[in-house]
């Protein structure tokens, strides 16, 4: 018992540590209790955080902050307008076309599967192919039922989306415009002596800001390059597959391997195993190599100082807790934990 008591005194009697832990606990409680209802608030805060970089850059060029905010916000709204009225309908159209093509794809796959026993009788039997076909058919039915359930709930989701599209730009604008006032108001609730909190915030702010901006830019570049490449190669659903390739960069080391499957499947159903199929795979491999060895290091070279094992562990843990959002924010959250460990009083760690 004395060992536990002494450890607790070494680590949790420092006032700075208590302030930091209290703020972390408050943030966790807010997210867990009010996370769902405050999604537009948090999303707007993240967007404003991303746009703060261009606003500061324009300010360094001599532009007044209000003018910089108005210019950056106008560009953001223009991109939002293009995305909602041009890009999203295109993606929805390609998803619909893919769903309509699924029955014929499944039939072709089943025919190819049933032909395997004739070609390779020593490796696979008719019974095994029939079992595989039944399993695949049952899985397709299950996914179709799930898709139908999602589509039934899409009306409510559309109404919510429309509300967010009106509410979030307003929040983003005022977060940018009144940033100093909001920060000054929040600092009024904090103790005067908050050295540890300030140290953690400076490290997290520099790394997470660079990471999120760099990752968003990486997604857009990979998406555009992949979509244009697939379109030039006449691959079906080029923009949709390009979008999947872009999103895959969110999951380092794993996303590229996972997205290879839909790209290869669409290409194989379109051309079989012809040379065009291999052209697509070669182009996809080149894009991934350029992204992993050139683009990502260029954009994120100093953004995140984490070991690959820590990154994968963070993705698994936070992705399991919060799904897609957990995957997206896994590395920033891991960076926060790493910053806390680095800023923790050395006496507490060494005693």
Share above pLDDT 90 across residues of the chain, in percent, rounded to a whole number: 9
Residue 271 has a pLDDT of: 85
Highest mean pLDDT among 18-32, 129-143, 260-274, 309-323: 260-274
Asked whether residue 199 is domain-assigned, the answer is yes
> Could you read off the pLDDT of 83-98 as tens digits, one per residue?
878 887 888 788 777 7
Percent of the chain predicted with pLDDT > 70: 72
Does 350 score more than 90 pLDDT? no
The mean per-residue pLDDT over the stretch 313-337 comes to: 75
Number of domains, the chain: 1
Helix (H) or strand (E) holding 341: helix 330-343
What pLDDT is recorded for position 74?
93
pLDDT value at position 287? 92
299 belongs to a structural domain:
yes
Quote the CA–CA distance of 78 and 90 in Å, as a whole number. Answer: 17
In a domain, 184, yes or no: no
- Give residue-wise pLDDT tens across range 165-222: 788 888 889 988 888 888 788 777 677 666 776 777 776 776 777 777 778 888 889 9
> Hey, what are 85's tokens?
């009225």
| Residue 41 vs residues 31, 170, 235: alpha-carbon distances, Å | 11, 10, 39
Residue 325 has pLDDT above 50, yes or no: yes
Write out pLDDT tens, residues 214-229. 788 888 899 999 999 9
pLDDT at residue 349 in the model: 47
Phi, psi of 234 (to 5 degrees): 65, 30
> In this structure, how many other beta carbons lie within 10 angstroms of the beta carbon of residue 168?
19
Is residue 197 domain-resident?
yes
Give the pLDDT of residue 282: 93
96-124 pLDDT, tens digit each = 777 777 777 777 767 776 776 777 676 67
Asked if 76 and 50 count as a contact pair (C-beta separation under 8 A), the reply is: no
pTM: 0.71
The pLDDT value given to residue 225: 93
Q: What is the mean pLDDT of the chain?
A: 76
Taking the C-alpha atoms of residue 241 and residue 226, their distance in angstroms, rounded to an integer, is 8
Does residue 93 sit within a domain?
Answer: no
Mean of pLDDT values over 155-162: 60
How far apart, in whole angstroms, are the C-alpha atoms of residue 259 and residue 241? Answer: 8
Q: How far is Cα 65 from Cα 62, in angstroms, rounded to an integer? A: 9
Structural domain that includes position 331: 192-351
The helix-helix angle for 255-271 and 238-248 (nearest 10°) equals 160
Average pLDDT over residues 253-273: 82
Residue 250 lies in a domain: yes
Is residue 216 in a domain?
yes
Minimum mean pLDDT among 4-8, 64-68, 150-154: which range? 150-154
- Residue 74 in any domain: the answer is no
């Amino acid at each position: 018992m004395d060992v536990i008591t002494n450890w607790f005194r070494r680590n949790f009697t420092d006032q700075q540590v208590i302030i930091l832990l209290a703020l972390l606990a408050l943030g966790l409680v807010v997210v867990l209790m009010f996370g769902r209802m405050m999604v537009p608030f948090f999303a707007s805060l993240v967007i404003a955080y991303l746009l703060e970089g261009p606003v500061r850059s324009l300010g360094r060029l001599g532009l007044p902050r209000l003018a910089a905010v108005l210019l950056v916000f106008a560009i953001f709204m223009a991109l939002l307008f293009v995305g909602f009225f041009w890009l999203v309908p295109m993606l929805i159209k390609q998803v619909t076309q893919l769903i309509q093509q699924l029955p014929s794809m499944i039939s072709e796959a089943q025919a190819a599967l049933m032909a395997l026993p004739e070609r390779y009788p020593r490796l696979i039997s008719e019974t095994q192919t029939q079992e595989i076909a039944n399993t695949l058919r049952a899985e397709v039915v299950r996914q179709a039922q799930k898709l139908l359930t999602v589509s039934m709930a899409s009306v409510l989701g559309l109404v919510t989306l429309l509300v967010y599209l009106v509410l979030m730009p307003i929040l983003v604008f005022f977060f940018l415009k009144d940033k100093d006032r909001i920060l000054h108001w929040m600092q009024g609730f904090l103790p005067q002596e908050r050295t540890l909190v300030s140290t953690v915030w400076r490290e997290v702010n520099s790394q997470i800001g660079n990471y999120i901006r760099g990752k968003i830019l990486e997604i857009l570049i990979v998406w555009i390059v992949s979509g244009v490449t697939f379109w030039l190669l006449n691959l079906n659903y080029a923009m949709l597959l390009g979008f999947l390739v872009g999103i895959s960069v969110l999951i380092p080391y794993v996303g590229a391997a996972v997205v290879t499957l839909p790209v290869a499947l669409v290409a194989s159903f379109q051309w079989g195993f012809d040379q065009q199929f291999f052209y697509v795979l070669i182009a996809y491999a080149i894009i991934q190599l350029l992204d992993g060895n050139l683009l990502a290091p260029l954009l994120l070279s100093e953004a995140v100082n984490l070991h690959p094992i820590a990154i994968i562990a963070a993705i698994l843990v936070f992705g399991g807790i919060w799904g897609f959002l957990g995957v997206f924010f896994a590395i920033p959250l891991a960076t926060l934990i790493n910053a806390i460990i680095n800023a923790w009083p050395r006496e507490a760690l060494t005693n």
